[in-house]
Amino acid sequence: MKVAVNVAVVGAGWAGMAAAIAHTQAGRQVTVFEAARTVGGRARAVPGTLPDGTAATLDNGQHILIGAYAESLRLMRLVGVDTTTALLRLPLTLQFPDGQGLQLPDLPPPLDALLGIARAKGWSWRDKLALLRTATAWQLRGFRCAPQTSVAALCTTLTPRLMAEFIDPLCVSALNTPAHQASGQVFLRVLKDSLFSGRGGSNLLLPRADLGALFPQAAVRWLQQQGGRIVTGQRVQRLLPQAGGRWQLLGTGSEASDSTAPPETFDHITLACPSWEASRLVEGLAGTAGLASASRWSAAASALRFEAITTVYAHASGVRLPQPMLALRNTAAHPAQFVFDRGPLDGQHGLLAFVVSASDGDRAQIEQQVLQQATAQLALPALQPVQTVVEKRATFACTPGLQRPGMQVLPGLTACGDYVAGPYPATLEGAVLSGSAAAACATAG
């Protein structure tokens, strides 16, 4: 009788749950360990309270998916999420409160982009022709550029208006890194896979449910139905290599409760925790005989720099935006790039979510600036702040030529997450693709 391979997944974010699903489908026995009390990692639900005392369900950051997120959509459906009702599908839209900007029609590529650019409001024909010429040149080069090229350097042929109203918001929403610092290579890959992946690939998919319900909570239920386990509120302190290429985790389960029972032994470990936690755990292996290569992986993970995302939730009774999502004109004094109306999305009418990508500054100051921006750009009645969520290490800084740590750490030890080497920036799709791939290449011992 064949004994199932025993696998530990450290971290119950989107990458971790994707890895747990893939391990389970490969016939392995899976236990997921999560340090927090809730699942979802950096894309999870958080409780809030409206000014009148009504309970609200917020997210630790407002997220957007796109139609090209094939793996995210596949996994949602697998665990029982109805993506047609859980996500609002809209054409790619970067329109401002005054109606200016870009909106693509529902046509196959490249016709949608061509017609969308031709119809863009507020853009001169010089702007439109510059974008068409530049985009054509990118396509002819196979959406490739030198690794050290920044997005700003990639776009030197574009007009200032296009940079301010198209490239900058698109870059910061996709890479969470300003255009002058962001990787042109990764930016082009995102454009290729969204705008040229097929009809609907560039569509915006706006969550109609909180981020916990959108995937990780359903994934937990699926995993438990398949016989898997999830242990929350238990932080892994150390990895211990064992004879025969097996592993033990210290700081989890019986170890954490001071039980005399020996720690469980695993055939394989997938690290799906944040990069700094994975670096800490792998660095702890560096002094072990034969595992000196762990230092190199740990150093690569710890060398990553991070960008913050701030989401300012504000409320006013009766407020409704003309669209569920609007772009905002971003300046030093008005830092938000986008605003979302949660009313048509999840029924929380009057609740707006302002997103400040690559944010920098004091929480209270950002909140005040955003409320002033709402008055200036949206002409709204006085909004009352509900909650401001600052995710200080929301994403890695996606800079040119960045060397990201690989998936394979050591025999029997893999890593996954949006920071692991791959073609995409720190997105939900990058996370789940990495989780599925880490489980697929896993070997025991």
CB 292 within 8 A of CB 286: yes
> Which pLDDT score is estimated for 289?
59
Asked whether the predicted pLDDT for residue 258 surpasses 50, the reply is no
Q: 103 forms bridges with which residues in the sheet?
A: 93
- Band of residue 259 on the pLDDT scale cut at 50, 70, 90: very low
Asked whether the predicted pLDDT for residue 180 surpasses 60, the reply is yes
> Which pLDDT score is estimated for 260?
46
Q: Could you tell me what percent of the chain has a pLDDT over 90? A: 86
Residue 117 to residue 71: CA distance in whole angstroms: 29
- Give per-residue pLDDT as tens, 70-111: 999 999 999 999 999 999 999 999 999 999 999 999 888 888
> Which pLDDT score is estimated for 382?
85
- Give per-residue pLDDT as tens, 331-371: 999 999 999 999 999 999 999 999 999 999 899 999 999 99
Closest Cα partner for 78 from 288, 222, 191?
222
> Which pLDDT score is estimated for 132?
94
DSSP code of residue 406: P
Asked whether the predicted pLDDT for residue 443 surpasses 90, the reply is no
- Give per-residue pLDDT as tens, 36-69: 999 999 999 999 999 999 999 999 989 999 999 9
Asked whether the predicted pLDDT for residue 1 surpasses 80, the reply is no
Residue 261 to residue 273: CA distance in whole angstroms: 26
- Give per-residue pLDDT as tens, 94-104: 999 999 999 99
- Band of residue 404 on the pLDDT scale cut at 50, 70, 90: very high
> What's the first-to-final CA gap in the chain, in angstroms?
20
Residue 239 to residue 296: CA distance in whole angstroms: 17
Q: Which SS3 state, helix, strand or coil, does residue 378 take?
A: helix
Q: Where are the extended beta strands (E) located within 316-366?
A: 325-327, 338-341, 351-359
Residue 148 to residue 145: CA distance in whole angstroms: 8
> Which pLDDT score is estimated for 257?
39
Asked whether the predicted pLDDT for residue 255 surpasses 60, the reply is no
- Band of residue 27 on the pLDDT scale cut at 50, 70, 90: very high
Determine the average pLDDT of the residues in 136-158: 95
Residue 86 to residue 180: CA distance in whole angstroms: 35
Structure tokens at 298: 């740990």
Residue 200 to residue 300: CA distance in whole angstroms: 36
- Band of residue 254 on the pLDDT scale cut at 50, 70, 90: very low
Structure tokens at 229: 């386990």
Lowest mean pLDDT among 2-11, 30-39, 215-224: 2-11
Instruction: Tell me how far CA of residue 321 lies from CA of 14, 182, 289, 324, 350, in angstroms.
Output: 30, 31, 61, 7, 9
DSSP string, 19-82: HHHHHHHTT-EEEEEESSSSSBTTS-EEEEE-TTS-EEEEESS---EETT-HHHHHHHHHTT--
- Asked whether the bond before 110 is cis by omega within 30 degrees of 0, the reply is yes
Q: 42 forms bridges with which residues in the sheet?
A: none
The topology under which CATH files domain 6-43+213-304+399-440 is: FAD/NAD(P)-binding domain (3.50.50)
The shares of helix, strand and coil residues in the chain, as percent rounded to the nearest 5, are 35, 25, 40
> Which pLDDT score is estimated for 39?
96
Please state the φ and ψ torsions of residue 297, each to the nearest 5 degrees.
-65, -45
Q: Is the dihedral of CA 403, 404, 410, 411 positive or negative?
A: negative
- Give per-residue pLDDT as tens, 159-174: 999 999 999 999 999 9
The CATH homologous superfamily of the domain defined by 306-396: Protoporphyrinogen oxidase, mitochondrial; domain 2 (3.90.660.20)
Asked whether the predicted pLDDT for residue 265 surpasses 80, the reply is yes
Could you tell me the residue ranges of all domains in the chain? 6-43+213-304+399-440, 92-202, 306-396
Count of CB atoms situated within 10 Å of the CB of 214: 27
Place of tokens 């005392």: 53
Q: Which SS3 state, helix, strand or coil, does residue 115 take?
A: helix
> Which CB contacts under 8 angstroms, 24+ apart, belong to 367-373?
367/312, 369/333, 369/334, 369/335, 370/312, 370/314, 370/334, 370/335, 370/336, 371/312, 371/314, 372/333, 372/334, 373/328, 373/333, 373/334, 373/335, 373/336
Q: Is 216 exposed, middle or buried (0-12, 13-18, 19+ CB in 10 A)?
A: buried
Q: 423 forms bridges with which residues in the sheet?
A: none
